[in-house]
Chain A
Amino acid sequence: MDLHFGDSKPTDEERAAVDALLGPPRSSWEGADRSDADLRWARGGREARGRRDLLLPGLHAVNDRVGWISEGALDYLCRRLTVPPAEAYGVATFYAMFSVRPRPATVLHVCTDLACTVAGAQDLCAGIEAGLGPGSGVHVERGPCLGLCERAPAALAVRAGDPVRTAVAAPATAGGAVLAARAPDSAPQEPPAAEAVPQAGDAGLLLLRRVGVVDPSSLDDYRAHGGYAALREAFALGPAGVIREVTDSGLAGRGGAAFPTGRKWRATAAQPDRPHFLVCNADESEPGTFKDRVLMEGDPYALVEAMTIAAYAIGAHRGYLYVRGEYPRAISRMQYAVDQARARGLLGDDILGQGYAFDIEIRRGAGAYICGEETALFNSIEGYRGEPRAKPPFPVEKGLFGRPTVENNVETLVNVLPILTMGAPAYAAIGTAGSTGPKLFCVSGAVERPGVYELPFGATLGELLQLAGVRDRLRAVLLGGAAGGFVRPDELDVPLTFEGTREAGTTLGSGVVMAFDDTVPLPRLLLRIAEFFRDESCGQCVPCRVGTVRQEEALHRIAERTGAAAAEDIALLREVGRAMRDASICGLGQTAWNAVESAIDRLGAYE
């Protein structure tokens, strides 16, 4: 590739950050000083271009070290990876956590999303800005959900350096957030993951049973609590046997789309094209969702084992775990677990002496809700802008790197462990006929005990809210997050199953259950949802790119209006929303109007 580079040079720090990831450059074609040998041999063929997937980790390396991505750093990274600078610039500007303009080394991400807004995020932001004062050297970034809704309001401080330091303040006071930003190292430790699980220690739990019980760093502890029994069972069953069990269990995807997992695995396993890939989607960005974070923080080896089983079933030898960038603790725990498993022969060339090879690579997102869409996530891993691809072809046929790929959510994969240890019939006996097994729910908002709850499918919304200690004067419950829908307080008998919520005209989505009491002005919540989708639209298709803007504008106009004064804009919202649902490329645009529509139709907002 004949690439054009500008004259900008990286600083020593930027060069060191990139070289720490990629190793020193081998020739001037890759950015080293020119030697005589370089004049006789042009490098940059397929092998060099084949490292494009290291672009996102490279951008992280620079951003982690310096806090932003300069022209010189981007150019150097492009030379190292033989990536056109324009494309790399397009990728760097796609993600919210990167900046291509100079900014202070410390960035404080303050969540202003639904749960945190209700918990006083606006006052928190004002308090933080007052507390920091001008010229503080901290860049405050108001942003979408940080996945800490059980401890709202939340803030995440990221201080660039070697190594990068992070600190979480949640529930955050202005003083606590300022401290986290000023001195991430001395900020108080986050509470253990088990604190997000009010049922922790309950012997009846299947998915959360080890959270708070085992030491998340100890592989021995994991094995002492039943770990790796499922993988042994998988090896005894063989790949086809595992797929049969998963199919018979009735397991359906927990990321929101509820696609039958066994069918996805079978279709991928049957593809003649090789290699096959496994991708675990831990880009948990749906506002109000934090179950995958709690699983990864509290029981990381379970995900390693579950990924190994899934990969074995579909004939993959390489798996990618894509964790959202806002989850530093989950990332470090998963990285440690993967390293330990590898050191102990539970990942690598010969797992458990069975002659099966599998390894996991962890990839970090950088602030883009859209990358939770399965094909956008592939593009993100591959080093392209995280824009969804047209389907068909579906991932089972052409997924990551154009190869047959299974992509599953964290919770979906973790369900495979009880399926294999209990057997499919016993697992399928849990829940209802149409929705089998246990389900995790992320309960937040106006409840006494917010957190992740595990209930068999079929429990009602009211039972779940009862368990979480719902407060009085309940006004509305948001199911499924920003892409989900609101239900009324008199609809609490909705059974929490795929089919039950569908019949009730709403959705289970990713398992978000966010309760709002009547102190919250509904139009403000709806406006926040619209802002979220406007911010997170990738911009690829017109209905979503412009539609989300027009919807936000209409919601602004009617924020203070009701009845006839709002009727014209509501009609406009409906027309635009319908086209977004029908004609957008991916689920983001197709569902962006759901929650607002349900608030108008079910809650009577603006009446």
Chain B
Amino acid sequence: MTVTPLGIPRRLLEFTIDGEPVRAPEGSTILDACRAAGKDVPTLCQGDTLTPKNACRLCVVEVEGSRTLVPACSRAAEPGMEVRTGTERARHSRKIVLELLASSVDLSTTPAVAEWIKEYEAKPDRFGPDAARVDEEPRVDNDLYVREYDKCILCYKCVDACGEQWQNSFAISVVGRGFDARIAVEHDAPLTDSACVYCGNCVEVCPTGALSFRSEFDRRAAGTWDESAQTRTTTVCAYCGVGCNLTLHVQDNEIVKVTSPHDNPVTHGNLCIKGRFGYQHVQNRG
């Protein structure tokens, strides 16, 4: 059993969100405090198991005294701060960010984004039919997972999960610059020529479905992917003695995807190639 150290008690900071006084433990971000206070701030690049990168800028809020808007996901709460989450200024930037993203990449598999586009009255089409898009073919170069960079919002989460924050494989990086920046392995080679160890921890954190299990990709292509028909069963991986929790996503009595609970003290959502992809024997009905 992993014992979670409690540490020294943290001071509570007092500040206001939308005029209402709130208290949050020292070290909390504005987003933590917003969520604790029941305020919804949309996020895309923020991940519960990763250091905030604040790249998407969807979670911007107004803070009194700040020249620009600040990203709620990464800015630490300070005593006396006056945070406003729903001002016209903040909502305008969120709307534009949604329009910029939706007009340049395919968000069809990004959860919740359709609701936000509606809520913020974003009109991605207004940039015209000639608006530049991230034009990439799906990369199917291995049996385990697929990379569809026309769905990628460059949130950096896969790079961080592959690198020093979790896996330490450093197989992928952001390459190029500006609108031409992409996630790639060295020399833009196929994954099979790279340092990838197929842990799938990048797939676990991808917020848009740009990275997906081959099983999911194939079913989506065939039109048979149906999340509403899937069950999720959390169990313990049988391969080694570490005891990782696996959540098996099952559709039509077939395992179609494996994840791990992000709050699991053993995995924090991470697995290795065996836990993540080594489930075929279960379905081997001979």
Question: Known interface pairs A390-B54, A553-B127. Does A582 touch B170 (Cβ–Cβ under 8 Å)?
Answer: no
Establish whether residues B68 and A583, one from each chain, have CB atoms under 8 Å apart when the complex forms.
yes
Is A21 among interface residues, defined by CB-CB distance under 8 A? no
Residues of B within 8 A of A6 (CB): 186-187, 189, 193
Establish whether residues B74 and A390, one from each chain, have CB atoms under 8 Å apart when the complex forms.
yes
Establish whether residues A87 and B173, one from each chain, have CB atoms under 8 Å apart when the complex forms.
yes
The A interface is mostly helix, strand or loop, or mixed, namely helix
Question: Known interface pairs A368-B177, A539-B178, A539-B181. Does A74 touch B130 (Cβ–Cβ under 8 Å)?
Answer: no
Question: Known interface pairs A390-B54, A542-B101. Does A4 touch B195 (Cβ–Cβ under 8 Å)?
Answer: yes
Question: Known interface pairs A89-B175, A539-B154, A549-B179. Does A576 touch B96 (Cβ–Cβ under 8 Å)?
Answer: yes
Report how far A575 CA is from B171 CA in the complex, Å: 38
> Across the two chains, which residue of chain A brings its CB closest to B67?
A590
Tell me the count of chain A residues lying within 8 A, CB to CB, of chain B: 51
Establish whether residues B178 and A579, one from each chain, have CB atoms under 8 Å apart when the complex forms.
no
Establish whether residues B170 and A546, one from each chain, have CB atoms under 8 Å apart when the complex forms.
no
Is A86 among interface residues, defined by CB-CB distance under 8 A? yes
Establish whether residues B55 and A547, one from each chain, have CB atoms under 8 Å apart when the complex forms.
no
Residues of B within 8 A of A550 (CB): 100, 103, 127, 131
Establish whether residues B71 and A582, one from each chain, have CB atoms under 8 Å apart when the complex forms.
no
Is B267 among interface residues, defined by CB-CB distance under 8 A? no
Report how far A338 CA is from B135 CA in the complex, Å: 48
Is B205 among interface residues, defined by CB-CB distance under 8 A? no
> 1/0 per residue B239-252: CB within 8 Å of A?
00000000000000
Is B57 among interface residues, defined by CB-CB distance under 8 A? yes
Question: Known interface pairs A541-B55, A579-B96. Does A3 touch B170 (Cβ–Cβ under 8 Å)?
Answer: yes
Report how far A553 CA is from B131 CA in the complex, Å: 7
Establish whether residues A579 and B97, one from each chain, have CB atoms under 8 Å apart when the complex forms.
yes
Establish whether residues B130 and A543, one from each chain, have CB atoms under 8 Å apart when the complex forms.
no
Is B35 among interface residues, defined by CB-CB distance under 8 A? no
> 1/0 per residue B96-131: CB within 8 Å of A?
110011011000000000000000000000111011
Residues of A within 8 A of B220 (CB): none
The stretch of A313-321, A432-440, A529-537 in contact with B is A529-537
Residues of A within 8 A of B185 (CB): 86, 89
Is A65 among interface residues, defined by CB-CB distance under 8 A? no
Is A32 among interface residues, defined by CB-CB distance under 8 A? no
Establish whether residues B175 and A90, one from each chain, have CB atoms under 8 Å apart when the complex forms.
yes
> Across the two chains, which residue of chain A brings its CB closest to B98?
A542
Q: How far is the CB of B192 from chain A (nearest CB, A)?
A: 11
Q: How far is the CB of B239 from chain A (nearest CB, A)?
A: 20
Establish whether residues A539 and B177, one from each chain, have CB atoms under 8 Å apart when the complex forms.
yes
> 1/0 per residue A535-560: CB within 8 Å of B?
11111111101111110010001000
Establish whether residues A74 and B186, one from each chain, have CB atoms under 8 Å apart when the complex forms.
yes
Establish whether residues A545 and B154, one from each chain, have CB atoms under 8 Å apart when the complex forms.
yes
Question: CB within 8 Å of B: which of A433-488?
Answer: none
A537 touches which of B96, B163, B178 (Cβ 8 Å): B178
Is B184 among interface residues, defined by CB-CB distance under 8 A? yes
Residues of A within 8 A of B126 (CB): 572
Question: Known interface pairs A86-B184, A575-B96, A583-B68. Does A4 touch B171 (Cβ–Cβ under 8 Å)?
Answer: yes
Q: How far is the CB of A87 from chain B (nearest CB, A)?
A: 5
Report how far A368 CA is from B181 CA in the complex, Å: 14
Establish whether residues A582 and B60, one from each chain, have CB atoms under 8 Å apart when the complex forms.
yes
Is B56 among interface residues, defined by CB-CB distance under 8 A? yes
Establish whether residues A88 and B179, one from each chain, have CB atoms under 8 Å apart when the complex forms.
no
Report how far A575 CA is from B172 CA in the complex, Å: 35
A540 touches which of B55, B68, B188 (Cβ 8 Å): B55
Residues of A within 8 A of B57 (CB): 541-543, 583-585
Establish whether residues B68 and A536, one from each chain, have CB atoms under 8 Å apart when the complex forms.
no
Tell me the count of chain B residues lying within 8 A, CB to CB, of chain A: 54
Is A329 among interface residues, defined by CB-CB distance under 8 A? no
Report how far A89 CA is from B181 CA in the complex, Å: 12
Q: How far is the CB of B1 from chain A (nearest CB, A)?
A: 29
Is B92 among interface residues, defined by CB-CB distance under 8 A? yes
Establish whether residues B184 and A583, one from each chain, have CB atoms under 8 Å apart when the complex forms.
no
Is B194 among interface residues, defined by CB-CB distance under 8 A? yes
Q: How far is the CB of B134 from chain A (nearest CB, A)?
A: 9
Q: How far is the CB of A277 from chain B (nearest CB, A)?
A: 22
Establish whether residues B97 and A86, one from each chain, have CB atoms under 8 Å apart when the complex forms.
no
Is A520 among interface residues, defined by CB-CB distance under 8 A? no
Residues of A within 8 A of B170 (CB): 1, 3, 84, 86-87
> Across the two chains, which residue of chain A brings its CB closest to B78?
A392
Residues of B within 8 A of A539 (CB): 154, 174, 176-181
Is A578 among interface residues, defined by CB-CB distance under 8 A? yes
Establish whether residues A93 and B195, one from each chain, have CB atoms under 8 Å apart when the complex forms.
no
Report how far A550 CA is from B156 CA in the complex, Å: 22
Is A385 among interface residues, defined by CB-CB distance under 8 A? yes
Establish whether residues A93 and B103, one from each chain, have CB atoms under 8 Å apart when the complex forms.
no
Q: How far is the CB of A548 from chain B (nearest CB, A)?
A: 7
Is A581 among interface residues, defined by CB-CB distance under 8 A? yes
Question: Known interface pairs A87-B170, A543-B96, A543-B100. Does A536 touch B178 (Cβ–Cβ under 8 Å)?
Answer: yes
Establish whether residues B173 and A86, one from each chain, have CB atoms under 8 Å apart when the complex forms.
yes
Establish whether residues B68 and A590, one from each chain, have CB atoms under 8 Å apart when the complex forms.
yes
> 1/0 per residue A568-600: CB within 8 Å of B?
000010011011011111000010000000000
Establish whether residues A537 and B186, one from each chain, have CB atoms under 8 Å apart when the complex forms.
no
A3 touches which of B95, B96, B156, B195 (Cβ 8 Å): B195
Report how far A510 CA is from B150 CA in the complex, Å: 38
Establish whether residues B56 and A541, one from each chain, have CB atoms under 8 Å apart when the complex forms.
yes
Is A216 among interface residues, defined by CB-CB distance under 8 A? no
Q: How far is the CB of B18 from chain A (nearest CB, A)?
A: 18
Residues of B within 8 A of A85 (CB): 186-187, 195
A542 touches which of B89, B95, B97, B194 (Cβ 8 Å): B97
Report how far A536 CA is from B57 CA in the complex, Å: 19
Is B211 among interface residues, defined by CB-CB distance under 8 A? no
Is B69 among interface residues, defined by CB-CB distance under 8 A? yes
Report how far A488 CA is from B54 CA in the complex, Å: 38
Establish whether residues A542 and B171, one from each chain, have CB atoms under 8 Å apart when the complex forms.
no
Report how far A579 CA is from B101 CA in the complex, Å: 13
Question: CB within 8 Å of A: which of B140-199?
Answer: 153-154, 156, 163, 168-181, 184-189, 193-195
Residues of B within 8 A of A590 (CB): 68
Residues of A within 8 A of B96 (CB): 543, 547, 575-576, 578-579, 583
Is B236 among interface residues, defined by CB-CB distance under 8 A? no
Is A94 among interface residues, defined by CB-CB distance under 8 A? yes
Is A229 among interface residues, defined by CB-CB distance under 8 A? no
Report how far A535 CA is from B180 CA in the complex, Å: 9
Is A141 among interface residues, defined by CB-CB distance under 8 A? no
Establish whether residues B93 and A4, one from each chain, have CB atoms under 8 Å apart when the complex forms.
no
Is B238 among interface residues, defined by CB-CB distance under 8 A? no
Report how far A578 CA is from B60 CA in the complex, Å: 13
A86 touches which of B60, B181, B194 (Cβ 8 Å): B194
Q: How far is the CB of A28 from chain B (nearest CB, A)?
A: 19
Establish whether residues A90 and B179, one from each chain, have CB atoms under 8 Å apart when the complex forms.
no
Establish whether residues A71 and B154, one from each chain, have CB atoms under 8 Å apart when the complex forms.
no
Q: How far is the CB of B195 from chain A (nearest CB, A)?
A: 3
Is A100 among interface residues, defined by CB-CB distance under 8 A? yes
Report how far A220 CA is from B131 CA in the complex, Å: 60
Report how far A86 CA is from B69 CA in the complex, Å: 33
Is B12 among interface residues, defined by CB-CB distance under 8 A? no
Establish whether residues A585 and B54, one from each chain, have CB atoms under 8 Å apart when the complex forms.
yes
Pairs across A and B, CB under 8 Å, 24 listed: A4-B169, A74-B187, A84-B173, A86-B195, A87-B173, A89-B185, A89-B188, A90-B174, A385-B173, A536-B177, A537-B178, A539-B180, A540-B55, A540-B154, A550-B127, A550-B131, A572-B127, A578-B92, A578-B96, A582-B60, A582-B68, A583-B68, A583-B69, A583-B96
Q: A1-B168, A94-B175, A539-B174 are in contact. List 14 more A-B contacts (CB 8 A).
A: A4-B169, A4-B171, A75-B186, A87-B170, A88-B186, A89-B175, A536-B178, A542-B100, A542-B101, A543-B96, A545-B178, A545-B181, A572-B126, A579-B97
Chain A residues in the interface with B (C-beta under 8 A): 1-4, 6, 71, 74-75, 84-90, 93-94, 100, 368, 385, 390, 392, 534-543, 545-550, 553, 557, 572, 575-576, 578-579, 581-585, 590
Task: Give me the 6 closest cross-chain CB pairs, A-B, nearest first.
Answer: A84-B170, A90-B173, A4-B195, A579-B96, A539-B181, A546-B100
